[in-house]
Amino acid sequence: MSTAELVKQHLIDPGICIRCNTCEETCPVKAITHDSRNYVVKAEVCNDCRACVPPCPTGAIDNWFPIAPGKPYTLEEQYAWDELPAAAPVATAVGEPDDVARLTSAATAGQGGPVAAPWSAEKPAVNLYNERGPITATVSGNFRLTGEGASADIRHIVLDFGGVHFPLLEGQNIGIVPPGTDAQGRPHHVRLYSVASPRDGERPGYHNCALTVKRVTEDHEKKPVKGVCSNYLCDLKKGDKVQVIGPFGANFLMPNHPGSSLMMICTGTGSAPMRAMTERRRRRIDLKEGGSLMLFFGARAPDELPYFGPLMKLPKEFIDINFAFSRVPGQPKQYVQDRIRERHDDVWRRLNDADCYIYLCGLKGMEKGVDEAFRDVCRRHGGDWDKLLPQLREKSRYHVETY
């Protein structure tokens, strides 16, 4: 394509590039060059083949920025940068497969689309592997999280990348490509799962990650159905190979700065990213970085609740946990939004704490209920949710991912 037609430009993020020369060596059309400061991309030569993306160890290579049509950044401009221009998006969805783009935009649609990552979030790597070139992971564990008597079979599945660098941050997703074809003979669609492990892995330092997967046995109308990908994953044995793509997601990320707090609200397997964020903070507990964790977690009953046992063992001063059980015989039905209302003083304080970041993940239906609960909390304390919500979004403090 001539640069006159360009509306998106391939750029390298100088802030995270480690100048290893891998991209320059890989590029089949010699579009990448460097000086003593930066690695840069020649807009008129790059043919968008993306051969450079998977080998890049940091994801610095993976940026396709919208530009004024026909006005790419020059090499001189790129050589001068210490970081990418501020107006550019944090990361692009341009390289994502259609399935992934469709799923991620549906997941964040309810509250007006994705919100930029917190200012102190680690810069994520995205789109390192795609369906044409997935990474093969090996199952190193598959454990049932729910009680034997529970209606749901929810599993903690650990995938090992065999020493290959596959950088993941808490809140990011990976895509699983189920083997085989559908009834029409077409390859199955990719399914997205949030990582449930922190950035250093389920087993720290071993290039691995964990997923939280519920075996799907019925559809939304309660008709029996066998979920293709969830059943494939739940049936995997140790040593089995899995095709993985990603990582995906550059918004639903946790803050890194000392003193930052998290308010996490989830239902069912929407707990996956909350487990990752909690575990990240737990592993750093001795650093005494300040900030607090508050969790609202909804499930049908205690034995249907993934990670119930480990959560119960966490010190109360580390995390303020509020369970909401909806189907415990003899007890009134409770949803997370009921617990948010009950804890209105503490919730109101956190809504007004500039260093508290709020995360919602799980069933689509909870979004409205939680929105109404926050509106009630605000009203009770003389605030106005309709004014506060846009401010929270503007400050990257309100993140939603629901399916």
Site residues for ligand NAP per CB under 6 A? 152, 193-194, 212-214, 267-270, 272, 298-300, 326-327, 335-336, 361-363, 365-366, 369, 401, 403
In this complex, which beta carbon is closest to ligand NAP, that of residue 65 or of residue 335?
A: 335
CB 214 to ligand NAP: min, Å? 5
CB 177 to ligand NAP: min, Å? 16
308-321: b (≥16 Cβ within 10 Å) or e: beebeebeeeebeb
In this complex, which beta carbon is closest to ligand NAP, that of residue 194 or of residue 208?
A: 194
CB 47 to ligand NAP: min, Å? 35
Task: Please count the other Cβ atoms lying within 10 Å of the Cβ belonging to residue 22.
Answer: 18
In this complex, which beta carbon is closest to ligand NAP, that of residue 172 or of residue 292?
A: 172
CB 270 to ligand NAP: min, Å? 4
CB 126 to ligand NAP: min, Å? 17
**What amino acid occupies position 54?**
P
CB 311 to ligand NAP: min, Å? 15
Query: Which residue is nearest to ligand NAP, using beta carbons?
Result: 268
CB 328 to ligand NAP: min, Å? 10
Q: With left for phi above 0 and alpha for psi between -120 and 50, is residue 207 left, alpha or beta?
A: left
In this complex, which beta carbon is closest to ligand NAP, that of residue 269 or of residue 278?
A: 269
- In SS3 terms, the chain reads as CCHHHCCEEEECCCCCCCCCCHHHHHCCCCCEEECCCCEEECCCCCCCCCCCCCCCCCCCCCEEEECCCCCCCCHHHHHHCCCCCCCCCCCCCCCCCHHHHHHHHHHCCCCCCCCCCCCCCCCCCCCCEECCECEEEEEEEEEECCCCCCCCCEEEEEEECCCCCCCCCCCCEEEECCCCECCCCCECCCEEEEECCCCCCCCCCCCEEEEEEECCCECCCCCECCCHHHHHHHCCCCCCEEEEEEEECCCCCCCCCCCCEEEEEEEHHHHHHHHHHHHHHHHCHHHCCCCCEEEEEEECCHHHCCCHHHHHCCCCCCEEEEEEECCCCCCCCCCHHHHHHHCHHHHHHHHCCCCEEEEEEECCCHHHHHHHHHHHHHHHCCCCHHHHHHHHHHCCCEEEEEC
In this complex, which beta carbon is closest to ligand NAP, that of residue 56 or of residue 103?
A: 103
In this complex, which beta carbon is closest to ligand NAP, that of residue 269 or of residue 396?
A: 269
CB 370 to ligand NAP: min, Å? 7
CB 363 to ligand NAP: min, Å? 5
CA torsion through residues 400, 94, 58, 87, sign: negative
In this complex, which beta carbon is closest to ligand NAP, that of residue 31 or of residue 107?
A: 107
In this complex, which beta carbon is closest to ligand NAP, that of residue 122 or of residue 367?
A: 367
In this complex, which beta carbon is closest to ligand NAP, that of residue 53 or of residue 264?
A: 264
CB 321 to ligand NAP: min, Å? 15
In this complex, which beta carbon is closest to ligand NAP, that of residue 101 or of residue 363?
A: 363
Give the C-alpha separation, 104 to 351, whole Å.
Answer: 25
